[in-house]
Structures are given as structure tokens and as C-alpha cells.
Amino acid sequence: MTGLKVLIVDDARFIRDLVSKIVSSGFPNSEVKAAEDGEAGRKMMMQHQFDIILCDWEMPGLSGLEVLQWARQQPNYQKVPFLMVTSRGERDYVLQAVQSGVNDYIGKPFEPSHLIDKIKTWLAKGGETSSVARRRAAEMLAAEQKTQKPAPKKPKGLAQLRLGGGVHRCAVKDLTLQQVRVAVKREDVIPAMLEATVVDIEQADGSTVQLNGFVRAVEAHEPKVDTAFLNVDVLFVDNDPEKMALLSRYIERMNKSTG
């Protein structure tokens, strides 16, 4: 299809590369752009007009669901096909996505031919979602509120974890002057115990506090073998007074904003 413009949003680099390769192979004359997280994807959608969006669900910061909800509020993206490429398939996740205007799910792992067929189908159909389906999903969600688990807490900030295998974006779950707990996507990396690392904690002004440390603990974010995220505890080894002062101010602001 000549001139097809596709946006891929996923914080796992190898997934971005894989999906980009599949789309470029299936649609040789297409223009494919990739965003490393939800916020980057939202900014690209503000700068360009895409014909279809392929978006991961679970990402640090702005989730795929939040990207979808934002897109459906934009006049130029209300009818653009939006497909979730995700390992999430639980009933409440599906209902939330349908209520918000998703067009389809593509479960990980997937066959390249299946992805291409889905894209062709929704390009032919168009992305306008059924108001009846959205209303029905909302009613079903409301009926299940009593049995649903509490919504996950928002991350306290964003950071980068620099390990031997590369740089990985993560969400800050807890932070003190001695250590940090971050959520890392399992698809990216499984850190090793006692592995040396550098944590770049992002500041509101765009700067970072860089702290040296080592991996103290790694655990599954959810009590199941296919958990999508890992919790990683990093113990700091820096004694730099300037770094500690910056970190202290960051923690104070963070506690005020999340308190």
C-alpha cells in the first residue's frame, strides 16, 4: 500500500525493531515510525498524521490505554485504527480497551502473517469504533467493580537503568537516599544479583541525577511465571554530597506530588 504511515509504540527495543521489520516487509512502500514509550508516541501523533497505530499496553509513564484514550479525544485520530500489541488478555483489560475505543488486540507472541492480516483488515474497515460496543463494555466494567483489584499506583517518577546489557527505561516505585526500587519490563532485561549499575533518575527540568549502585534484589511484579514486569532494588554506593543533595530535593518534590 503506497504512502501508508504506521506508528509503533513500545518501550521494548527488540519489539519495536521486530514490528517495524514485519510492517516494512508486508508494506514495502510504507513509512514506519517507532516511539520508545507512550509520551513519545503521543508527541509523534501530534506532529504527524498516521494511518494506523500499533501500541503496547504496559509501558512506564504513559500506558497504551492512556495513549488510546488521548487519541480518541483528538478529531484527527477518532477514526484511525488503533491496535494493542500486548501480552495482556485479562477480561477487565480487554473491556477497558474496548470502552476506550480500541479496534483489536494482537497477542504476544504473534506470527508476522497474523499482524499483516490484522493491519490490512482494519485499514479496509477504518477505525471508527462502535458506540454500542463501548457502552456495553462500560456497563460490564461497572458491574465488575466490586470484584476488581485496586488500580495500580502511578509511578513516582521515571529513570533509566544502565546495565551491562544496555540502557533500559523504568518506572520509579520507591526511592530513598540509600536505594531505589524500579519496575523494569521483563522483555528488556533480567538483571543479575550484585550486578553493577548506574541509575539515571529524571528531573522535572529534564536533567538527571546519576547514581552508582548494584542490584540488591529482583522479584516478579506479579505472582505468576509470565509476569510482564520485574521489580528491581538497587542499593546506592555513591557518597557524593552534591548528588545526595540533588536526590534529597527530588525525593521531597516527589513526596509532595504523590502525597
Q: What residues make up the domain containing 226?
A: 157-258
pLDDT of residue 137: 73
Same domain, 141 and 168: no
**Structural domain includes residue 71:** yes
Residues composing the chain: 259
> 52-55 and 5-9 as β-strands: parallel, antiparallel, unpaired?
parallel
Same domain, 55 and 179: no
Same domain, 14 and 127: yes
Alpha carbon of 86 to those of 30, 94, 245: distances in Å?
Answer: 23, 11, 40
Same domain, 172 and 45: no
Asked if 150 and 102 count as a contact pair (C-beta separation under 8 A), the reply is no
Same domain, 111 and 172: no
pLDDT of residue 147: 61
Phi first, then psi, for residue 155 (nearest 5°) are -65, 150
Q: Largest Cα–Cα distance of the chain, in whole Å?
A: 60
> Which residue among 114, 147, 180 closes a domain?
147
DSSP code, position 10: -
Same domain, 113 and 196: no
Query: Per the structure block, which three cell numbers stand in for 90?
Result: 485479562
Same domain, 134 and 195: no
pLDDT of residue 131: 80
Same domain, 173 and 231: yes
pLDDT of residue 155: 67
* Beta-bridge partners for 31: 5
**Structural domain includes residue 9:** yes
**Structural domain includes residue 208:** yes
First to last CA, the chain: 50
DSSP E strand stretches across 109-228: 157-163, 166-175, 179-185, 196-202, 208-220
> Which residue among 96, 128, 147 closes a domain?
147
Q: Strand, helix or coil at 15?
A: helix
Same domain, 172 and 127: no
pLDDT of residue 89: 63
pTM: 0.63
**Structural domain includes residue 152:** no
pLDDT of residue 120: 93
The runs of H, that is alpha helices, within the chain are 13-26, 38-47, 64-72, 91-100, 112-125, 131-143, 241-258
Say how many domains are in the chain: 2
Same domain, 134 and 196: no
Long-range contacts of 101-109 (CB under 8 A, 24+ apart): 101/68, 101/69, 101/71, 101/72, 101/129, 101/134, 102/68, 102/129, 103/127, 103/129, 106/54, 108/15
> Which residue among 127, 147, 167 closes a domain?
147
Same domain, 49 and 169: no
Per-10-residue mean pLDDT, the chain, length 259: 87 89 93 94 96 91 92 94 81 81 84 92 87 78 64 73 86 89 80 91 81 92 82 89 82 70
CB atoms within 10 A of CB 244: 15
DSSP E strand stretches across the chain: 5-9, 31-35, 52-55, 82-86, 104-107, 157-163, 166-175, 179-185, 196-202, 208-220, 229-236
pLDDT of residue 121: 93
Instruction: Please compute, for residue 118, the number of CA atoms within 13 A of its CA located in the half-sphere on the CB side.
Output: 22
199: domain CATH number?
A: 2.40.10.220
Same domain, 36 and 96: yes
User: What burial class does residue 171 get, using C-beta atoms within 10 Å of its C-beta: 0-12 exposed, 13-18 middle, 19+ buried?
Assistant: buried
**Structural domain includes residue 108:** yes
58: domain CATH number?
A: 3.40.50.2300
**Structural domain includes residue 34:** yes
